[in-house]
Chains A and B, each alone.
Chain A
Amino acid sequence: MNFKVLKPYPSWGHYPPTRAQSAYVLEPPVTLPNTDSSMLPRGLGRSYGDSCLNESGVLLDTKELYHFFDFSEGVLEVESGVSLEEILNFAVPRGYFLPVTPGTKFVTVGGAIANDVHGKNHHVAGNFGNHVLELTLLRSNGELVTCSPSQNTELFQATIGGLGLTGLIVSAKVRLKKINSSYIDQEVIKYKNLGEFFELSSETGHEYTVAWIDCFASQNNLGKGLFIRGNHSTQKLALDVHPNNKKTIPLNFPSWSLNYLSVKAFNTLYYNQQLKKQSSGVVGYDPFFYPLDKINHWNRIYGKPGFFQYQCVVPKAQSHEQMQKILKLISKSGIGSFLVVLKMFGDYKKQGLLSFPEEGATLAMDFPNQGEKVLGLMTALDELVLECGGKVYPAKDARLSKQSFHQMYPEFERFKAFIDPNFSSNYLRRML
């Protein structure tokens, strides 16, 4: 079968550089193309690295798999190409919300499962996969397999966080969360250092917590930032879907526009936007969970060379000490970004074999692609992460070494048995 090269299918970080790829648009009732080349499901392309690329094979574009099948008693059954945005549009007016949501609503259900995504409520709700009751998987031999925690359990566990490699997720049943308000009672606390972050994180009573940190702060102020926490509002009881007034970044920014000075200036302004130690207010779910969704193609601010996203987790016991080392190294390097996020993951049993979250502290940040310098920094960070038994998140990775990957994910050996023989990705080929 010949496939048309329709358009470049880039990864979100534009690294590795974008090349045109072959693609096949799936439509219900779904059948896989008859091909000798390898296949990889593709949703909205928000994976930062190369886990959403399959350069020697075919991408299975799921944009036409947007159908809803059923909704009853809080359980939603949809095709895998349905976006989280679409679920919110549907569920919020009915008094339901996503059980777990990442920092963008522009991902598909299939992608959320294949990366077992997490959000600001990990400490109380775990990952997206923890709320998937059942999924239908189409294997390349034509077999349609129903998987759930009790049926084809191992294949289910391999598929949750399985990076799309175990077959095509055709549809899934997801348990939504009941809400009385789509607004969030939010508190923003300005804190001075890492110690204060860990103290704030140990307080209970908030469903959603996250911290923005200034990665250039050093010494006594290392890790300073804004601690943001919230619960579904009890003050404003309304089930509103937020209007969509998006701004678009039309072109790639020139690559010099983000530099040490501009980012440092941004960080200082952002930290000091709030003068008081603590502020509180009621905000909609959109600004609370998805501040970046307001800006279409925000990734273009990194220009043509693209950027790396680095997300790691370090185990709870060593999290303070190790995070200190990590932040010191980043601060010293002078390479940094204005979006650095720190959060404590909770002790929540994950479903997936390759799921990323572990109990401990997780740090996520962007690095502009400045070549060797930044690659070297990330390799040094890998060592600090490995040293304490931590991990790097595959959904965001484009450069982790094979050796480090295998050390971080010893379960990969078991996972291999469940990979569909005709499925592959750039990421998989890098790690095999």
Chain B
Amino acid sequence: MKICCFGANSAIAKHIVYEYADSSPEVILVGRDQQKLDVEAQHLKARYSCKTQVFSCDFTNTEKTIEVCKTLKDIDVFIIAHGYLGSQDEAQNNHSELQKIIDVNYTSYAHLLEEVGRIVDMQQFGKTIVIGSVAGDRGRQSNYIYGSSKGAIELYVQGIQHRFAHNPKIHFLLAKPGFVDTPMTKDFPKGPLWAKPKAVAKLMVQGLNKNKRVVYTPKFWFLIMTLIKWCPFFVFKKTKL
């Protein structure tokens, strides 16, 4: 088995890889921070006897991203998991922050999805987990810049799912995690809605194995987001969400 992980330093991505790791797959780690990728690669080798390969790549650098993708073949599972939460407040006043949030969370995903689409089309097999977010389900004042990027990914993934719908060996899953206790969210006060990356990763892999198109992780987010999505605007506008 061969896994390719974009955003390999993200906590959720690592835990998705661990879900497969007991069978000692070959793992290709692609991410920005080379030093952290090396620690991860060494861990996969020592703990799980995986063969590993590391590419350092900033996904906002499209050329470099495409160059890395050109070297990939025979990949069974892709994981696209990088992300940048950014600051909504700052992005409202600073266009470079706004740009960065959209570039990392949407533009780079579009390029990567197209490359992954090309690869699976060539191979005629391959499953992909794309990390979206519950934040993409409805625009809210507290994080609509990040949220809209994640929402846009959903449309993109829908299109790709449509494109490969005829081939049962090709599958794309959009995973929508809620609050996850990861280094990306380490400055947030945690509460009962928070989940551990391991639990979230497990649900994503289960979803992929069942060929689901969308999974909310944990599942209760489906309920919460249904309520938020269908909340009439005259009520919604009174909330601070």
A19 contacts partner chain B, Cβ-Cβ < 8 Å:
no
Complex-state Cα separation, A7 to B186, whole angstroms: 11
When C-beta atoms are compared, the residue in chain B nearest to A72 turns out to be B46
Q: What residues of A have a CB within 8 angstroms of the CB of B189 in the complex?
A: 4-6
Interface readout for A319-332 with B: 1 if CB under 8 Å, 0 if not? 00000000000000
B169: CB under 8 A from chain A? no
- B interface: dominant SS: helix
Q: Which residue of chain B has its CB nearest to the CB of A63?
A: B181
Interface: A383 (CB within 8 A)? no
Task: State which of B36, B39, B42, B190 has its C-beta within 8 Å of the C-beta of A7.
Answer: B190
Across the interface, do B36 and A29 meet the contact criterion of CB distance under 8 Å? yes
Nearest chain B CB to A276 CB, angstrom units: 42
In chain A between 60 and 86, which residues have their CB closer than 8 angstroms to a CB of chain B? 64, 66-71, 77
Judged by a CB distance under 8 angstroms, whether B212 is at the interface is no
Chain A positions within 8 Å of B183 at CB level: 25, 27, 64
Q: Which residue of B lies closest to A66 (CB)?
A: B43
- Interface residues in A310-357 (C-beta closer than 8 Å to B): none
Cβ-closest chain B residue relative to A29: B35
Interface residues of B in 32-50 (CB under 8 A from A): 35-36, 39-40, 42-43, 46-47
Is A291 an interface residue when CB atoms closer than 8 A count as contact?
Answer: no
B187 contact set on A, CB distance < 8 A: 4
A-contacting residues, B161-185, CB 8 Å: 183
Contact-residue bracket for chain A = 10 to 19
Interface of A is mostly: loop
CB of B42 within 8 A of CB of A67, answer: yes
B190 touches A6 (CB 8 A): yes
Q: A77 vs B42: C-alpha distance in the bound complex, in angstroms?
A: 11
Known A4-B187, A4-B189; contact A28-B39, beta-carbon cutoff 8 A? yes
- Which residues of chain B (141-163) have a CB below 8 Å from chain A? none
CB contacts (< 8 Å) of B47 on chain A: these are 67-68, 90
CB <8 Å contact, B186 and A4: yes
> How far is B40's CA from A27's CA once the two chains are assembled, in angstroms?
11
1/0 contact trace for A85-117 toward B, CB 8 Å?
A: 000001000000000000000000000000000
For A25, list chain B residues within 8 Å (CB).
Answer: 183, 186
B179: min CB distance to chain A, Å: 13
A28 touches B190 (CB 8 A): no
Excluding A6-B190, A70-B42, A71-B46, 7 further A-B contacts by CB distance (< 8 Å) are A4-B187, A4-B189, A28-B36, A29-B35, A66-B43, A67-B40, A69-B42
**Which 5 residue pairs of A and B lie closest in terms of their CB atoms, listed nearest first?**
A68-B46, A68-B47, A67-B43, A28-B39, A68-B43
